Amino acid sequence: MATHKLLLLPGDGIGTEIMAEVEKIIDFLGSQDSSVTFEVERDLVGGAAYDAHGEAITDAAMAKADAADAVIFGAVGGQKWDDVPYEHRPEAGLLRLRKDLDLFANLRPAICYPALADASSLKRSLVEGLDILIVRELTGGTYFGEPKEIVDLADGEQRGVDTTVYTTREIDRVVRVALDLAKVRTNKLHMAAKWNVMKTGVLWQKVTTATHKAYAPDVELNLILADNCAMQLIRNPRQFDVIVTDNLFGDILSDEAAMMTGSLGMLPSASLGAPDGSTGRRKALYEPVHGSAPDISGQGLANPIAMIASFAMALRYSFGMGQQADAIEQAIAKVLDSGLRTADIMQDGKTKVGTEQMGTAILQELQATL
Ligand code: NAI
Ligand code: MG
């Protein structure tokens, strides 16, 4: 008997609309398998939390997030909160979750559903069936290293400084996440860094090699220069399965990979932290890559697939429910094959549907398989 604690944070804008479609799937999975119970908590985040409590996430909501096995996050933000004090901006809720839960590993899958292969920026023969997972280190590296400054020099010239810093511990822990993921996928890992020109790159190469040897020597490990990785992603993306890399390279490579798969409304993500000492379960937050889409919110038009696929990742990576996660992804593929499209992925000759119809169609497909 497994009990999984979920905290749902729908947030603002389309966040609430797409979360409603995930809730239907949670209810179904809980009723369908008597050995699994989902304990669901809900709270506010972002502008919704600011309106109710004057801050983007309350301590009480943070305590629920800390107690949860997985946080399912919609999206935050909107014009309404453009003028609130900086520390209370909607994004502050997400940033606090990432920081306080120490979510250092950001997982960005690039999955190309066959029905959408023609919407990719690469040709169908290269991307059909593509299924890559980029693991980006999220809390260290160039974006956070000190010194970070603009220095005034003589004669009005200025010098900008960013510093790339990584410790062995920071590299080791994210490489372990990537190795764990490789084990439940195809047992293949690429590590992208620039050990030819960067000291942090040398450390990434050294630590990855050592951690692999000590922790998961059965995983096939390939070290690849980050610039070559960018090139190979365009040339032959299906050679990759899991790619682990630092914060800066991961930012760029994950956006590059994402564009092979079509719309923002299709892209899920996860952020993982350290494993719990007693249960071994990692702190985790799952969210679509997109934002609150104020231009379409409140109209029932949003594509719920990124949100639903984020929940599928929670099943796979937090709850060991890989079979159900696969079933959700297959249900999404089938619904797309059947020709249903939300506006953002609309193509000639297909049937335009809204958020609820898309969510219901995926649920029905899931009910037919499980
Ligand atoms: P956005 O991702 O919200 O929207 C960009 C474009 O993609 C819009 O045209 C939108 O309609 C469309 N889009 C996004 N998700 C969609 C979906 N599921 N289905 C159909 N169409 C979709 O980014 P934007 O417009 O730059 O930001 C809007 C608000 O969201 C801002 O307040 C921003 O700060 C916030 N934001 C929040 C994020 C988060 O909560 N993690 C991430 C990015 C932005
Ligand atoms: Mg980016």
Strand, helix or coil at 134? strand
d(CA 366, CA 229): 36
CA of 292 to the centre of ligand 1 (A): 5
- Give the CATH number, domain containing residue 148: 3.40.718.10
CA end-to-end span of the chain:
18
- DSSP letters, 336-360, are HHTTEE-GGG--TTPEE--HHHHHH
Residues 85 and 153 in one domain: no
pLDDT of residue 260: 85
Q: Which domain holds residue 348?
A: 1-108+263-370
Strands 2-11 and 36-42: parallel
Quote the ligand 2 centre to 256 CA distance (angstroms): 9
Locus of tokens 């709270």: 43
Give the distance (Å) from ligand 1 centre to CA of residue 30: 30
Residues 243, 138 within the same domain: yes
302 found inside a domain:
yes
**Which pLDDT does position 1 carry in this prediction?**
76
In a domain, 92, yes or no: yes
197 and 255 within one domain = yes
Pairing between strand 351-352 and 2-11? unpaired
Last residue of a domain, one of 209, 234, 259: 259
End-of-domain residue from the set 230, 259, 288: 259
Whether 293 has a binding-site annotation, put simply, is yes
Q: How far apart are CA 243 and CA 250, in angstroms?
A: 9
When pLDDT is cut at 50, 70 and 90, the band that residue 261 belongs to is confident
Cβ burial, residue 20 (10 Å; 0-12/13-18/19+): middle
Cα separation values, 2 from 29, 39, 242, Å: 13, 10, 28
- Residues 337, 298, single domain; the answer is yes
Angle, to 10 degrees, between the axis of helix 14-32 and the axis of helix 355-369?
Answer: 20
Strand locations in the chain, DSSP E? 2-11, 36-42, 70-75, 105-111, 131-137, 145-152, 158-163, 188-193, 220-225, 242-245, 268-275, 282-288, 340-341, 351-352
Residue 115 lies in a domain: no
Residues 152 and 233 in one domain: yes
Asked whether residue 124 is marked as a ligand-binding residue, the answer is no
Q: Is residue 168, in this structure, part of any structural domain at all?
A: yes
The pLDDT of residue 280 is: 84
- Which is the catalytic residue, given 12, 43, 246, 251? 251
* Residue keyed to tokens 């890989």: 322
Residue of 100, 143, 241, 352 marked catalytic = 143
Assigned token pair, 266: 């299709």
Summarised one tens digit per residue, pLDDT across range 159-180 is 999 999 999 999 999 999 999 9
- Percent pLDDT > 70 in the chain is 100
- My answer on whether 160 and 223 are in the same domain is yes
- 71 and 9 in contact (C-beta within 8 Å)? yes
Instruction: Express each pLDDT in 89-125 by its tens digit.
Output: 999 999 999 999 999 999 999 999 989 988 888 999 9
In sequence order, which residues have a C-beta less than 8 Å from that of residue 147 and are 6 or more positions away?
Answer: 161, 163
Give the pLDDT confidence of 308-327 residue by residue, as tens digits: 999 999 999 999 999 999 99
253 & 267 share domain: no
Question: Which residue reads 């790159």 in tokens?
Answer: 201
**pLDDT band (50, 70, 90) for residue 21:** very high
What dihedral do alpha carbons 324, 329, 330, 335 form, nearest 10°? 130
Among 259, 286, 319, the domain-final residue is 259
Could you read off the pLDDT of 62-99 as tens digits, one per residue?
Answer: 999 999 999 999 999 999 999 999 999 999 999 999 99
Which residue is it, tokens 């604690």?
5
119 lies in some domain: no
**Given the residues 43, 64, 180, 194, the one annotated as active site:** 194
Ligand nearest to the CA of 358: 1
The number of distinct structural domains making up the chain is 2
Same structural domain, 82 and 153 = no
Give pLDDT, residue 151: 97
Residues near 173 by Cβ (< 8 Å), separated by ≥ 6?
104, 105, 274
State whether 247 and 206 are in the same domain.
Answer: yes
* Both tokens assigned to 310: 């984020």
The answer to the question of whether 47 is labelled as a binding residue is no
Nearest ligand, CA 255:
2
What is the CB < 6 Å shell around ligand 1?
14, 75-78, 94, 264-265, 287, 290-296, 302-303, 306, 342, 344
Does 135 lie in the same domain as 254? yes
- Ligand 2 centroid to Cα of residue 254, in Å, is 7
**Residues 285 and 337 placed together within one structural domain of the fold:** yes
Assess if residue 201 is contained within a domain: yes
Report yes or no on 29 lying in a domain.
yes
Q: How much is the pLDDT for 279?
A: 83
Check residue 127 and give its pLDDT: 92
Query: Which pLDDT tens digit goes with each residue over 201-253?
Result: 999 999 999 999 999 999 999 999 999 999 999 999 999 999 999 999 999 99
Domain co-membership, 217 together with 319? no
Return the DSSP state at 276: P
pLDDT of residue 307: 98
Q: Does 291 belong to an annotated binding site?
A: yes
Domain-embedded: residue 307: yes
